Amino acid sequence: MKIETGKRELELNNSSEVFKNLNLDERSVYSVMVSCSRGNPEHKAILFTGFNSGQYCRVYNNTYDAPIKMMEIYSMKIIEQLTTM
């Protein structure tokens, strides 16, 4: 997954790296910009973070599609944290 942190872009291979580099909290909800594949344009979505291990981390977009596992997203940029549970 590619992530944008400030002015740099990182390629991350596991959920622990994503949590660390984006300063994510477990069991939280974020507004994000995501791209599902290389040619897919960025669009707004909601990220729910379950656990640092990647379990229960899902991206919900504004379609009727099923949620996508966080690590299956091509690229992601955090807009803001909405809430912590």
> Cβ distance 8 to 80 under 8 Å?
no
DSSP 8-state assignment for residue 78 = E
For range 63-81, the mean pLDDT:
88
**Band of residue 9 on the pLDDT scale cut at 50, 70, 90:** confident
pLDDT of 60 reads 93
pLDDT tens readout for residues 14-59: 888 888 888 899 999 999 999 888 888 889 999 999 998 888 999 9
pLDDT of 64 reads 66
CA contacts within 13 A on the Cβ side of 60: 9
pLDDT of 10 reads 76
Strand partners, 48: 29, 58
Give yes or no for residue 6 having a pLDDT over 70.
no
Task: Select from 61, 55, 73 the least CA-distant residue to 11.
Answer: 73
pLDDT of 80 reads 94
Of residues 8 and 30, more confidently modeled = 30
